[in-house]
A and B are shown apart, each in its own frame.
Chain A
């Protein structure tokens, strides 16, 4: 009985802070602000409504926002990993919905290092190994800047060394 093992290397622990910031900016922050604004409005003009609005906001906005903020980055950190094998490059990503993708080095077309504005402030980068298929791009998100350059170079060299095949 064989089993697909997880990739060998974790991404940088700093990535958890990046994902937390991302969650605050994209989902949790707006949700909490909305809840706050609605709560204040209700307090000022319809104090009677707080009885049912309070729990409703708590359940639909506040708790999911806090849950996402605390759970997602840790969960992601446990999942995200990468490995450069002898013949293929392997990455795992996601948190609730997880994805493990493996592309052979012989199919690698380009190796890019991408840094988003938020990532830059945390000194992180994403490595994108592209293949001829858009459903075959291997992404390694959340490695430290210095590591990214080195990993990208290693993948590039390894891909050079393996005889390429057409798409």
Chain B
């Protein structure tokens, strides 16, 4: 492989520094009616100089950064003033991670981080997604198939523990529990002296200080709780192929848990990324395994990995599925699926609140009307963003052995199901989806969640997918009938 440079668009990332001064200039212009003041011109001048410097540095740095992958090593040269040339033997490369700040994402770029056995990590800031994927694919090193260990406890991964919804939700649950316990004893927390003092002090002093402090306290407490839970659940975990051909998981600090999943009852593997964890570049992995008990027991017992770095999660997925199931490009779902998501969220989440506030406004005064307008102004773009993300999550693909499907935004789930494990297909529709030409398809398997739903496919795509992924099931009910229905 020859030398490569970061993507030209990566120059644009640095310009985000200019956003704040430019915004303040624009505000000044607005406030002064377009005349501006000397201070503003100074700011603008500074901005221009910074722009020039950033551009010069960026161009120079990009020209001086290059990487290549040879047969036995990865080489990266970088540095604006201090030149560094680093060379990592390919056998030392442990992980290839992608991260992307919102700005990177906007530009369609990712930062590639190459983790090594001990010499720190190498960063390329930044490549476009295809180049990054190609690099990762080129670096993938086949692991010895006879190595039974898939993954084990790594204390560094605890940093992913707070990136779950429980980190914040847990605090409210804990506070609620304490309140109920006190209530049960007949104690009214509001009457305890120190609570009242704290509350009046809270209200009396500057709210701009106390509210962030309270939020910070919630986040810190929640994170500590999440870390404690993570350690209790996952202390010294080991995931391995056992001698009898089962997938074995051992974990836990006070309660040790041990599960063995028969390979013959394994129907696939699932990667799940709750929104905060996804933003932090992490993921969880679960097996799609049968005969593990009730739905709740199955969910609990089939987890293979706690929140870990995405690259590590993908490595374990590869070892469980026996191939790179999540490496292929997924077929996106039609754009109307995005509009449906937006409309649905507006109708069921935003509109009721706005209507309630407007009714309150009509009854009790304009304060509520203003908050209704403010809520609508804030909630609409958020909804649009979430709908866009939900739509981008949607995708499906078929490889030699697996059916791959992805969906979800608050928790994005990507599942790979063995095609031979599909025992039935279900097509769901309602008058609205039919008018949009969409259908949801559910693959039934005798494992995991039993039914795996692929939402909002174009109707023809759904039929094709069902017919390709598990041939022979739907074939005879298609018109016109296909050749070689079931051979």
Chain A residues within CB distance 8 Å of chain B: 1-5, 7, 83, 85-88, 90, 96-104, 107, 131-138, 167
Contact = CB atoms under 8 A, between A and B. Distances in A.
B444 A98 contact: no
Contacts of B459: 3-4
15 contacts: A4-B459, A4-B463, A5-B479, A87-B473, A87-B485, A88-B472, A100-B426, A104-B472, A131-B424, A132-B290, A132-B446, A133-B451, A135-B451, A136-B423, A167-B290
Interface string B412-456: 000000000101111111110000000000101111011100000
A86 B477 CA distance: 10
B195 interface: no
B295 to A, nearest CB: 9
B458 to A, nearest CB: 11
A3 B460 contact: yes
B446 A167 contact: yes
Contact of A136 (B424, B449, B472): B424
Contacts of A4: 427, 459, 463, 474, 477-478
Nearest to A134: B450
Contacts of B290: 132, 167
B479 A136 contact: no
Contacts of B464: 2
B423 A2 contact: no
Q: By DSSP majority rule, is chain A's interface helix, strand, loop, or mixed? A: mixed
Contacts of A167: 290, 421, 423, 446
A102 B467 CA distance: 11
B478 A133 contact: no
Contacts of A104: 423-424, 472-473
Contacts of A132: 290, 423, 446
A69 to B, nearest CB: 19
Nearest to B450: A135
Contact of B428 (A85, A98, A136): A98
- Name which of A4, A7, A96 has the most chain B CB atoms within 10 A of its CB: A4
B482 interface: yes
B183 interface: no
B423 A100 contact: no
A44 B474 CA distance: 61
B482 A2 contact: yes
A107 B424 CA distance: 8
Interface of B: 290, 421, 423-431, 442, 444-447, 449-451, 459-460, 463-464, 466-467, 472-480, 482, 485-486
Contacts of B485: 86-87
B444 A136 contact: yes
B477 A103 contact: no
B482 A138 contact: no
Given A2-B467, A103-B424, 12 more contacts: A3-B463, A5-B478, A88-B473, A88-B477, A98-B428, A102-B426, A107-B424, A131-B423, A131-B424, A132-B423, A133-B424, A167-B421
A67 B317 CA distance: 51
A2 B478 contact: yes
- Name which of B421, B444, B467 has the most chain A CB atoms within 10 A of its CB: B444
B445 A133 contact: yes
Contacts of B466: 102
Given A131-B423, A133-B424, A90 B477 contact: yes
Contacts of B460: 1-3
Contacts of A101: 424-427
Nearest to A86: B476
- Name which of B423, B450, B460 has the most chain A CB atoms within 10 A of its CB: B423
A81 B449 CA distance: 27
A102 B430 contact: no
A80 to B, nearest CB: 15
Contacts of B427: 4, 99-101
A167 B427 CA distance: 21
Contacts of A86: 476, 485-486
B474 A133 contact: no
Given A131-B446, A132-B446, A98 B473 contact: no
Contact of B473 (A5, A83, A97, A102): A102
A133 B426 contact: no
Given A133-B450, A135-B442, A3 B423 contact: no
A97 B428 contact: yes
Contacts of B451: 133-136
A48 to B, nearest CB: 21
A38 B480 CA distance: 56
Contacts of A87: 472-473, 475-476, 485-486
Nearest to A92: B427
Contact of B444 (A1, A2, A3, A135): A135
Given A2-B480, A107-B424, A96 B474 contact: no
A123 B65 CA distance: 80
Given A5-B478, A88-B476, A167-B290, A133 B444 contact: yes
Contacts of B449: 135
A138 B427 CA distance: 12
B162 to A, nearest CB: 34
A86 B481 CA distance: 13
Contacts of B486: 86-87
